[in-house]
Chains A and B, each alone.
Chain A
Amino acid sequence: MTTDVSQRFLARDNVYLPHIAVIEKIIDETPGVVTLHFNFKDEKLREEFTFKPGQFGEYSVFGIGEATFCISSSPTRRDHLEFAVQRVGKVTNALHRLDVGSEMGFRGPYGNGFPLDSFAGKNLVFVAGGIGLAPLRSLIWNVIDDRDKYEKIDIVYGARSPADLCFKYDLDAWGNDSSINMVTTVDKGDASWTGREGFVPQVLEQAAPSARNAVAIVCGPPIMIRFTFPVLEKLGFTPEQMFTTLEKRMKCGIGKCGRCNIGNLYVCRDGPVFSFAQIKGFISSEY
């Protein structure tokens, strides 16, 4: 593995040229979301490919276009890669139309990923909403696979309705893990729902994880992120203790095409993981 990030896993020295990847499995998460499992066609790349939790890729459906998704599987479980797609537009619709065995393009990994080393020895508080669990999921499994390195783990996860909860198999696994304090909530339950109801920020406030020696990692729709940071501040988290991974419209994934900036920071180049300290100057304005 080269340490120079710009040379990692380039296809024919062209940073815009995707690698061919094959869909191996499709999991229906919610009515609008699927998780796709894939592997590279090139065997050498399949062996060598590495990434950090929180990093993302550019996925191509040839003839339709490219879209950005974080890698939602953990680097510690490398027999295949995963990403989750919500059906919202041209490329995501096309990804939903793919079958097992279909080929797609992949460029990456891009972005900074989570500062995993700095999380060692700390209490971790994960706060996620909807499909925002996808990037955190990569990190959570990574942390679980290195459980000794970290202290307490709190997870607060919510979705609009029980049907909108993603990764239910993971929620069950984490709920059954005695070393994890897991809270699942929905904005509004249905007849069969026996769990909690309430918005993620409020449930987080009730759960009240301690800020001492802790970091909070937040991902979800912008509205949730905006309301979660004040709650964390109330709980005593400093801006440096809060992390989020952001989503913006992207095209190139490598800081050139221009559209994903928040102030001088490019979500693809400088993120997608940011501490609240980095972005708070702009968060009221453009995020």
Chain B
Amino acid sequence: MADSKRINKEDTGRLLDEWSKEFSVSVPSRENGMPAMLPWDGKDTSFLEWYRNTVIPPKANFFPPYEKMFDFQKGAEGYHLELPPSDKQKQLIFGIRPCDARALTILDTVFQDTYQDPYYLSRRANTVLVGLGCTNPYDSCFCTSLGISPGESTDVDLMFTDTGDGFFIEPVSDKGRELLAATGGLEDGLEADEARAKDVKEAAYRKITRRIDTGDIQQRLAACFENQDYWEKVAAKCVSCGICTFLCPTCYCFDINDELSQDEGTRFRSWDSCSFPIYTRMPMENPRQEKWRRVRQKVCHKYWFYPVNLDITACTGCGRCIRLCPVNWDITQTLNNLPASS
């Protein structure tokens, strides 16, 4: 490839250093005991050894667990509202996996739908995504069923492929091409690197064995939507916690709450989850009081309602919901065992 580059692994720190001059760089980090995309400390590149994927999905870098929407203050003239200062600092996320990058493309659709979400979209516009292809996916991964290849991505700006001693670097977007052109100290990619990268990508693809059957999925879900027995059976062991939704890279539901201390306060938004009964509870009734309705909503939303509305399935097969579930509720089993009708 003409505009591809290569770099030795031991030079990764130097490259991140260079990018840090222009960007606030985030890398996979587990300094808090749990892997997430956190600001690079300027030295540690040990993630190259241990990193498979983060627990906290990179959506948190754009749509954090909670954020300030605005402050308010009551004065003699009435209420004054103050937006948080817009962050002009450019961001770079290094090492995002193809599934999680696709998740951002999915989130873009809902946060742009009709009304622009200023908080998410401004961070998104400010950020360069540097993808890193998987070489060692988890046994819970099923991205290939969602049309994602673990080694490739069209949703990032630059794509890195681990070729053993180094990385083969391909620009994906114009933003990535510009960044690559402006980055010094990179060698041109060799044909041998490209060939090696191709093998790595194919090998990663083959490593993913977990599958879901996506054929006619909307029709199949519609056919068993009213099958209460099936949904009750599927939901029986769910404990209605928020892990699968909070840590899903495509789940975007949120709650809005105010904090008051006398005459001033803050409006926050924070992650919310369709697993919680309170999520839909109204004073007189709750349309999804029963657990099976909530489980059904989660599954149908991802594979049926979301694609009908926004033309893309709201799942990337990253497997977090399976891997992190405290009772091993497995969405692939739910989808693969859908009964043919009610």
Contact = CB atoms under 8 A, between A and B. Distances in A.
A and B touch in the complex (CB under 8 A): yes
B252 A222 contact: no
A258 B272 contact: yes
Contact of A13 (B81, B118, B281): B118
B256 A257 contact: yes
A6 B114 contact: yes
B341 interface: no
A249 B254 contact: no
B115 A17 contact: no
B258 interface: yes
A66 interface: yes
Main SS class of interface, B: mixed
A51 to B, nearest CB: 16
A255 B113 contact: yes
A286 B260 contact: no
B83 A254 contact: no
Contact of A252 (B226, B256, B282): B256
Given A14-B83, A17-B83, A41-B78, A258 B283 contact: no
Contacts of B19: none
A88 B284 contact: yes
A34 to B, nearest CB: 16
B72 interface: yes
B136 to A, nearest CB: 33
A259 B280 contact: yes
Given A15-B115, A20-B78, A259-B253, A64 B308 contact: no
A257 B253 contact: yes
B177 to A, nearest CB: 30
Interface stretch (B28-36, B91-99, B142-150, B285-293): B285-293
A259 B254 CA distance: 9
A236 interface: no
B258 A248 contact: no
Given A63-B72, A256-B111, A258-B274, A249 B265 contact: no
Contacts of B304: 264
Interface in B243-282: 252-260, 265, 267, 269, 272, 274, 279-282
A62 interface: yes
B258 A249 contact: no
Contact of B257 (A41, A62, A65, A285): A65
Interface in B55-84: 69-70, 72, 74, 78-79, 81, 83
B9 interface: no
A115 interface: no
Given A247-B282, A257-B272, A286 B288 contact: yes
Given A255-B114, A256-B117, A287 B287 contact: yes
Given A257-B253, A264-B305, A249 B282 contact: yes
Size class of the contact patch on chain A:
35 or more
Interface string A216-252: 0000011000000000000000000000000111011
Interface string B304-325: 1110110000000000000000
Contacts of B308: 264
A21 to B, nearest CB: 10
Contacts of B117: 15, 256
B110 interface: yes
A17 B308 CA distance: 29
A255 B115 contact: yes
Contacts of A64: 258, 260
A273 to B, nearest CB: 16
Nearest to A221: B284
Interface of B: 69-70, 72, 74, 78-79, 81, 83, 110-111, 113-119, 225-226, 252-260, 265, 267, 269, 272, 274, 279-285, 287-288, 293, 297, 300-301, 304-306, 308-309
Given A16-B69, A62-B72, 8 more contacts: A17-B81, A60-B267, A103-B79, A105-B79, A249-B281, A257-B255, A259-B272, A261-B301
16 contacts: A6-B114, A6-B115, A13-B118, A17-B69, A17-B83, A62-B267, A88-B284, A251-B255, A252-B256, A257-B254, A257-B255, A259-B274, A261-B297, A262-B287, A264-B306, A285-B226
